Amino acid sequence: METIGGTSPISRRALLGGAAAIAAGFGLAGCASTAQVRAVDPAYRRTVVAYQGREPPGTIVVDPANHFLYAVQPGGQAVRYGVGVGSEGFGWSGAATVHAKQEWPDWYPPKEMLARKPELVKYMAQLPSGLGMKGGPENPLGARAMYLYQGNKDTLYRIHGTNEPWTIGQNVSSGCIRLTNEDILDLYERTPVGAKVVVLAAHTA
């Protein structure tokens, strides 16, 4: 299969610049996690594959069981990306749409997460939309985020980048779908607001 080339350049420092600090200081069970720094498994590198599913071009299909996301293309092909997905008890499946997109997004942990992890509060600041963490290289949401809605309702799930690329291919989050920062840049440019997203059930994927 042909591997897709790079996208907009991000320095290694930007990709990993805050990972060690976050891993040590946050210990997040949400859209970030703790792990030893290591390279992404080659099996999860971005590549073009044949697609024989029923979804039309422009659709994003997430296969949590196998840790892949497919951006369906014309001509029976898809761009396949490796992803990190929700840990046990935090998985989500269903259909949604990309309601909004954000570059270097701020992160607003839900109240439930702050209740589970009260130690996170000291890392938060009062931002325009509430208590959160300013976007940037150290932010758990990485370089880009796409916000998933069902109708007018926010699912609270995101497709986003990560400053912890070694977690790709793992069940690590509270349901958010994470890609490397290089891959989220590529997917972000391919995906318009309004695009359909299908997250398969992990036990049937």
**Catalytic position from the list 31, 67, 99, 176:** 176
Does 176 qualify as catalytic in the annotation?
yes
User: How far apart, in whole angstroms, are the C-alpha atoms of residue 102 and residue 122?
Assistant: 25
Does 160 qualify as catalytic in the annotation?
yes
Tokens linked to 4: 């897709």
**Catalytic position from the list 31, 99, 160, 203:** 160
User: How far apart, in whole angstroms, are the C-alpha atoms of residue 88 and residue 181?
Assistant: 24
* H or E stretch covering 42: none
- Which among 67, 81, 85 is positioned nearest to 31, based on CA atoms? 85
- In terms of Cβ atoms closer than 10 Å to its own Cβ (0-12, 13-18, 19+), residue 59 is buried
Residues with catalytic annotation? 160, 176
